[in-house]
Chain A
C-alpha cells in the first residue's frame, strides 16, 4: 500500500515536472501520509426508478406485510436462501443482499427505514429532482446538495467532486467545480499530438472563462493519466460485478486510493421501477432480486477493496420514493412514499435499523396505501455532511430545512 502510494506520488509529480506541480496536488499527495489530515469522503448512490424498500429491507415481523403482498412478500427468515436474512428479529435483508450482511454484523452499516422526502409527489422526475436539489417542493433551486456540501477552499483539487457517468447529475451541479467522468480511461484528449496544442491554446487565451476552465481541465487530465500508469488491481483480488454500478464504484475506489483530493462522489443505478413482474417464480427471484444482487455485490466489493481506507469513507444510498405497500395486479408495485436508505463506512454507527417504524396496518399507511415517512432524507444526508464531512452549515446545504433531527448514524 505504502509503496504503491509512493509510486503514484512520484509519477503524478513527474507528470508536472519538479516545482511545477499545482499546489492542490502536492497538498493532496503529501496530506495522504498523515492520516489525521486525510480528507473525509462521501459517496452518494442513487437508485433511480424508486426501489421497493419493503422488499429490500423486509419488515418480516409485521403481520400485515404478508397480507398486503401475497405474491411478493419475502418469507420470514428460516436459514435458507429463499427467505429474508434476519437483522434484529423484526427486519431482514432481501437474500440477494447477503454480501452486505457481514458489513452490518461488523457494525459498519446502518439502515434507516421509513425515510424519504416529505413532498407527496409520485412523479419520478419531480421526486428525483427534489432529492438531488435537496429542496423538496422547490423546483427553482439551481444547484445540488452534494455540490453545496463542499466547503470552499483556496485552490481546490479539480477532482474533488466526481460523478461517474456522461452527464453531471443534479446533486453535483453548482458553483464548486465538479466533473462527470464516464470512464477514467477516457478522460483525456484522444489525439496525443492534439493534447499539447489544446493545452497551450487554453493556457494562453485571453478568454478568461474558457481559459480558466481549460487549465483546470488539463490539470485533471494529467492527474488521471498519472494514476493510470498501471492497470487497476482491487485489493485482495476483489471482483466487482460487471454492471454499471460495480464499474462506477471500482473507479471511485481507484480515485480514493490514489489520493488525488476526492471529497464527494456520485454513482447511480437504474431499473428499479418494478410495476410488472417484480418477482419471478418465487418472491426471492426475478427482476428485483437480480437488481439487488448486482447492487449488493457492488457495494460489498467497494467495501472490501477499500479495506482500511473505509475509515475515511461513508457511502449512502437513496431512491426518490418507495413503492406501494400492497402489491398490484401484475406482480409488481406502484409508486409509493417512504423508503429505506443504507449508510456504511468506518465512521458509521451500524449494526442497527434506525428510524421510527410506523407500521403497515391499513390505518398506519400514508394515504392508506404507502409506508409513512418518519425520517426526512435530509436528516440522514445532513448528519453525514455535518459529522462525516465536517461541514457545520447544514442549513446552507439544505436551504429551508430548519430543524434537522439526526438519526445518529455517524460517529462524528
Chain B
C-alpha cells in the first residue's frame, strides 16, 4: 500500500514537472521596467496610445487610471465623439422604427405584392415605392452585374463614390446614402459608430469590452432579420452589461431577437407539441404553416453554441444529450415577427413540457419559460464557464497562451463574485502577469486594433469612417460581418499571413500620405529625424532593423510627406501591442 502510494506520488510529481517544462511561463513572473508599464497598459486597455497619453497616466498614477477605466460612468465622454455620433440616426431607433424606415427587401416586396399593408404616411409610402422600383431593376440586372454577397459593384466606381462621400458634410452625406443605397445605411451607421467610439471615446476599456462581448456573443448582420436587429443588440443587450454580472449578460443575449434569429432558436419548437391538435383550429393552421416552413421541431443550434462558445467551452464537460436537453428547455423562446423588428416572446404552446436533465440537474416536467432560466443559472455558475471566460479574457488582454495561475486566479474571482465581470477584469489588470515581460509586446494587433491605433497615434482627424471600415474588411475583419458564431480570434496566428500583412503595410502608407478618403493626418507634426518620428508614433524607440532600413532608404531618395511615419506604422514594431 505504502509503496503504491509512493509510486503514484512520484508519477504525479513527474507529470507536474513535465508540464512545467513543456511550457515556460517564467517570463510572466518578471515584472516590466517602470517606464514600460504605462505604455504596455495603454496598449492593452485602450485601442492604442495617443500623443500625451503616457504623460497623463504618469501624472494620475497607473493604478488609479486602471481603476477609472473600470468605472466608465466616472469618466466624462469626449464631445468630439458625441458630435460625430449625432447624425447617425439609426443608432437610437428601435428595431420597429428601423424596420419602418429601412425595410428589408423582403418587406418591400411583400408590400408591393399586397401581402403587407403599405405605410399610411405618404412620405414613407413614396420611399417604399422608390425602393421597390430599385429592387425590381436590381433583380432584373442580377447575374449580369453584381455579386449579391456585398462585394458587388465596380471597384473603381465604388472608390470614386467614397471619395465624393468623404468630402460631403455628415448630414448631407447620410441623405445621399439613404436615397441611393438605403440598404446600406444600417451597416454604415454601425460601422461608423464602432470606429468613432474606438478612436475618440474617453471610456476606452468600456469600448474594448463592448467589442469583446459582442464578439463573444457574435451575431452576423447579413443573416436575414439581423440586419435590423443588430443595432439594438449591441446597444440594449451588450453595452449596458459589459462590466456587470455574467448571468445578466447571458440572459440579455439569450432573449435578444438578434441572437434568437442568428442561431435559429426562434424556430425551436417541441415536435410533440407541434403535432397535438388540441389548441383550436386557428393555432393548428398556424402550426401547419410553420411546420411546412421548417418541418423540423427541435433546433439545437443555439443550445450547442450556448455551451460550446458562450459558457462552458468546447471541452467544458457536456454531451450531445445535454445539447438536446438544453434545446428542449429553450423551445418556445421566439420572436414576434422578426422582419418587422418584433420583440422576444415566450410561446408556451410550443414548449416541451417533459422532464429534462441538464448536466446532471433534473428539471421537472410541467415547466415553462423558467426551464431555460434554470439552464442559464446552471451554465453561468458552472466552474467550466468561470475558467472559459477567464481564459478568453486573458487571451485578449494578456497573451495568446496565458499562464494557468493567472486563469485560476481570475476564475476564482468569477466564482467568488457570482460572475462579476468588473471584478474579474480588476483581478486580471492588477495581476503581476498583466504587467510582465511575458505579456509585453506578445500580441499581434487585430485589424481593428491596428487601424484604430494608427489613427490615434497620428492624431488623424476622421470625418468619415467608412473608408476605414473598408480597410478593415481588406485586412480580414469586416465589422459586424463575421459569419461564424465563434467571432474573431484574438490569436496572433489568425492575423499573420501574406495578403493581410501586405494590406497592413499599404494601409500604413496610405494613411500618412492622406490617401484614405475622409481621414486627415497633419504631416507637419512629424519630425525630420527618423528616430524621432519613430518615437512619435511608437512611443518608444524603433527596433534597429526598422530604424536602419528607413535611414538607408532616405539616403537614396528624399521622402515624400508622411512617408517615414507610414513606414514606421507598417513596420513589425507597430504590428504588436
Contact = CB atoms under 8 A, between A and B. Distances in A.
A213 B552 contact: no
Contact of B149 (A168, A182, A217, A270): A270
Contact of A271 (B148, B496, B552, B567): B148
A126 B220 CA distance: 12
- What is the size category of the interface that chain B forms with chain A? 35 or more
A322 interface: no
Contacts of A202: 572
19 contacts: A140-B308, A166-B473, A170-B484, A179-B499, A191-B566, A193-B559, A193-B563, A200-B548, A200-B549, A204-B549, A206-B545, A210-B575, A210-B576, A213-B497, A243-B144, A243-B147, A271-B147, A334-B293, A369-B295
Interface string A288-323: 111111100000000000000000000000000000
Interface string B542-555: 01011011101100
B177 interface: no
Contacts of A384: none
B149 A190 contact: no
Contacts of A5: none
B552 A200 contact: yes
A120, A158, A166: most-surrounded residue (chain B CB, <10 A): A166
Given A200-B552, A270-B148, A181 B308 contact: no
Interface stretch (B65-73, B93-101, B368-376, B502-510): B502-510
A140 B316 CA distance: 13
Contacts of B575: 210
Contacts of B109: 276, 330
Nearest to A220: B498
A197 B549 CA distance: 6
B342 interface: no
A211 interface: yes
Interface of B: 106, 109, 113, 139-140, 142-149, 151-152, 220, 223, 264, 292-296, 301, 304-305, 308, 314, 444, 473-474, 476, 478, 483-486, 492, 496-502, 505-506, 509-510, 513, 543, 545-546, 548-550, 552-553, 557, 559-560, 563, 566-567, 570-572, 575-576
A120, A128, A201, A204: most-surrounded residue (chain B CB, <10 A): A201
A106 interface: no
Given A201-B549, A201-B572, A213-B497, 20 more contacts: A128-B483, A168-B476, A170-B484, A177-B497, A189-B509, A190-B506, A194-B509, A194-B570, A197-B549, A197-B552, A201-B550, A207-B572, A213-B501, A216-B498, A270-B147, A270-B149, A271-B143, A273-B148, A369-B292, A369-B295
A216 B500 CA distance: 12
A368 B474 CA distance: 43
B509 A49 contact: no
A221 interface: yes
B297 to A, nearest CB: 12
Contact of B143 (A193, A214, A220, A294): A294
Contacts of B500: 180
Contacts of A211: 572
Given A123-B264, A200-B545, A367-B295, A209 B496 contact: yes
A367 B294 CA distance: 10
A213 B495 CA distance: 10
Contact of A198 (B496, B497, B570): B570
Nearest to A270: B149
Contact of B484 (A129, A197, A291, A294): A129
A269 interface: yes
B114 to A, nearest CB: 12
Contacts of A280: 140
Nearest to B478: A167
Given A166-B474, A294-B144, A217 B509 contact: no
Contacts of A210: 444, 496, 501, 572, 575-576
